[in-house]
Amino acid sequence: MGRTSLFCAVVILALSCGVVWAEQAVESEGSDAGLFSGTLGDSLWSVVAFVILLAVLGKYAWKPLLNGLNTRQSHIEQQLKSAEDSRVKAEHMLDDYKQQGLTVVRQATEQAQRHQQQMAEKAREESQTIRRRAHEDIESARTTAIEDLWKQTGDIVLQVGSEVLGRTLTEQDNQRLIDEAVARIKQNGGLQ
């Protein structure tokens, strides 16, 4: 017999006992009767029916009801525990992501500083290269200017010599005079 049919049978039995008891109470209404005023058999039958009703309800109603409530309570507790675990896990993940974010920012800052230093070093090297080229150009222009000056000096000496001496100097005379003038200038400190 299934649980449901047994439960229905017990309920019908209890109701029929209740109906019998109610009829007896109505019949004895004329007398001053209380709840347990009747025969001993009626009282005994009422107690037996009540005990059977309690046993059936305990087995088929209260136990499943309590089991269902306990199951629901344990399910809710598991869900709460799972939610707490998820919250703790999410907090750890958040902390990890914060640390990763800080690491990325720190690395980006370091990389930017390295790039800035590299750019500054490159600019410094370029400026030194430009400065070195400028010095080389200046030195080259100075050397060229000195050579032109010597050439012009030679021409002036040649012209002055021909006017002073009244004759044209030969190439050897001109070279000798230039060499003497250059030697005197170098002894006196030269052209700066």
Answer whether residue 164 is part of any domain. Answer: yes
Answer whether residue 54 is part of any domain. Answer: no
**Positions in the chain short of pLDDT 50:** 192
pTM: 0.39
Rounded distance, CA 48 to CA 14, Å?
Answer: 10
Find where tokens 């005023």 sit.
37
Domain count, the chain: 1
Answer whether residue 100 is part of any domain. Answer: no
Centroid of chain to Cα 9: 68
pLDDT at 165: 66
Answer whether residue 165 is part of any domain. Answer: yes
pLDDT at 47: 83
Answer whether residue 156 is part of any domain. Answer: yes
Answer whether residue 183 is part of any domain. Answer: yes
Per the structure, the complete domain to which residue 182 belongs is given by 145-187
Q: Which of 44, 56, 54, 3 is nearest to 20 (CA)?
A: 44
